[in-house]
Amino acid sequence: MSLLASWLASPPLDAAIEIAPEAVSIAVLGGRGQHAIVQGYAVEPLPGGALVPSLTAVNMPDRDVVVKALRAACDSVGVRPRRVALVVPDLVGKVSLVRFEQTPTKRDDLDQLIRWQIKKSTPFPTEDACVTYTPGARGAGGNEFVVVAARREIIREYEGVCEEAGIEAGLVDLATFAVVNLFLSSGPAPTGDWLVVHMRPEYTSIVILRNEDLIFFRNRAEGDEEALQDVVHQTAMYYQDRLSGRGFSRILLGGLGKTVGAVDMARRNLEEHMGAQVETIDPTRGATLTDRITPTPELMATLSPLVGMLLRTRREAVAV
């Protein structure tokens, strides 16, 4: 799969915004082609409880605070973009992998079939949902699709915050998909099977890709009792038993944990369990930083989905 799900496609955008529970972040990308440059960024913290990501409930009980933080982030970076790529928490979208032995040739028929297929597993009426999909793995068993569903009113919360700040969200995607696109859109993508573990204070998402096709996605809220290493172990067993897994060519880890040192601890646990080196997700794979930007682990975690989103819009524009 070359590109992951979005609610609205757009031409190349030079700014990306992430609205997350802990902060509103913005990055501005300059340069062209393989010479993308992060020209500026800003991070505006949010107070606890201002944004609570959820599939089914109101996400922004304190909307005015989020709008104020977005405006402050734009002022800090010195840019008030008209159209942006918007990153939202994984917890607002339901990701499903569906397979059909025969795929309808008409788009409307395929839309209806996909909505019918995910209806039982989606915790809200699909009639009230934004549903998007993209082709996944293909094989003798038919064609697979990666499907993302989110309540329309919840996506409107995020888009509405941007609109109130005078900004249009030209592309909307989940944070972990944006991170994956950092690798799909910057040079040759990893080949073989590769594992991505993306940590956030509120959740951890685990993705397996086979070349460029997403073949597994699992999201674990931080409130779950299962430890990360247990979830990775279960994922590895499923990968071997159900996905004909023969080992990962690369294992990638990034993001921010709930506590200080959480990501480093996760790296040690992963390396011990998987018996392989774990690489850090690094946005400079796809875009260099200006001399005045000092890289830190926290900044790299912030920039990864933003840079991934912006590189994706450029890749889409070239492909059109």
Per-residue pLDDT at 75: 96
Per-residue pLDDT at 2: 40
Per-residue pLDDT at 80: 87
Q: Please, which residues bridge with residue 199 across strands?
A: 204, 255
Domain count across the chain: 1
Rg of the chain over all Cα atoms, to the nearest angstrom: 19
Per-residue pLDDT at 1: 36
Q: Is the pLDDT of residue 280 over 80?
A: yes
187 lies in which domain range? 15-92+151-319
| CB half-sphere exposure, 170, CA atoms < 13 A | 17
Residue 5 lies in a domain: no
What tens digit of pLDDT does each residue of 135-145 get?
Answer: 988 876 789 99
Which value, to the nearest 10 degrees, does the dihedral of the CA atoms of residues 202, 204, 205, 211 take? 140
Taking residues 290-311, report their average pLDDT.
94
What tens digit of pLDDT does each residue of 74-119 get?
Answer: 999 998 899 999 999 999 999 999 999 999 999 999 999 999 999 9
Per-residue pLDDT at 69: 98
Q: Return the sign of the alpha-carbon dihedral for residues 284, 297, 16, 18.
A: positive
Per-residue pLDDT at 3: 43
Which of 1-10, 21-30, 183-192 has the highest mean predicted lDDT (pLDDT)? 21-30
What tens digit of pLDDT does each residue of 26-82 get?
Answer: 999 998 767 899 999 999 999 999 999 999 999 999 999 999 999 999 999 998 899
Q: What single letter denotes the amino acid at residue 221? A: A
Q: Which of 121, 122, 189, 116 is nearest to 152 (CA)?
A: 122
Q: Is the pLDDT of residue 202 over 50?
A: yes
Residue 185 lies in a domain: yes
Contact 84, 56 (CB under 8 A): no
Share of the chain above pLDDT 70, in %: 93
Residue 315 lies in a domain: yes
Residue 127 lies in a domain: no
**What CATH number does the domain containing 311 carry?**
3.30.420.40
Residue 122 lies in a domain: no
Q: Which residues, including other chains, have CB under 8 Å from residue 23's CB and lie 6 or more apart?
A: 43, 44, 45, 46, 69, 302
| 175 confidence band (pLDDT: 50, 70, 90) | very high
